[in-house]
Structure formats: C-alpha cells, structure tokens
Amino acid sequence: MRARDDPIERGVVEHARDLRSHPAAAERTAWRLLRNRRMLGLKFRRQHPLKGLIVDFYCAEQRLVLEIDGGVHDRPAQAEYDRARTTWLEGHGLRVLRIRSRDVSRARLEQLLRHELALRPPSPHRGEGDRG
C-alpha cells in the first residue's frame, strides 16, 4: 500500500504540510539558514514525516534529525516524550540533535552540525568503501 492510500500516513503528511505553513519563529529562522544547502552544503527537509513521526528538520544523506525545542519541552511529560522519541529514532539508525529555540543562530547551528559530523561520519553508501 502506498502512503497516499494509507489514511494514517496521509494524515501524517497533511499534518507535516500544515506545520510547514505555520512555523514557530525559531523554526522559520533555522529554515532560512538551512534551506538550499546553505549550511555546510547539507540538504535539509523541514517538518519531514519519518518513521511515522514528524521531525523538524531532516538531512537524509547524513541520516540526521535536527529538533528545535521551545519552552514546552521543559515540561516533565514533554521532556520524557522527547527522550523516548530520540531513543526510538536512534534505534532506527538516525542521529538526533536538539537545540533550544533561543539558541538558533547561524554560528550555533554550524557549530552543532560540525561537531556532530566530526564525531560520527556517515556510513559509506552501498557499494562504496573498503572492499579489503
């Protein structure tokens, strides 16, 4: 069954589309900095449906999720949900970075991304790498 035939998946896609239409201020700033490969040449998608969830920003080539956390993420229940969600995404081979909305700036995003990419370079694509 294709995504558009699945009512649940269709609902997730429609919700992501709505989120893209009404971004929070920090998400709008981050998108202005990330779009069109403006940050380290990485291609990001915003409000991207992924594994049944909607992530704020996603870079497929790095399998990297970037989440922008506002004040609501300080609530204990939301913080616990965020931890569980991060664990679940990481369990599916994705890297998850979180940044506070008040910290979104060109310098901070670039620092965060450079640090993450230096720590964990991506796996080679299929057919590439050392064949021994």
Domains, the chain, with CATH or none: 3-119 (3.40.960.10)
Asked if residue 102 lies in contact with residue 32, where contact means CB atoms within 8 angstroms, the answer is no
Backbone angles phi, psi at 16, to 5 degrees: -60, -40
Q: List, for residues 55-66, the tens digit of each pLDDT value.
A: 999 999 999 999
Regarding pTM above 0.85, the answer is: no
Bridge partners of 99? Answer: 68
CA distance 120 to 113: 11
Between 43 and 120, residue with greater pLDDT? 43
Percent pLDDT > 90 in the chain is 54
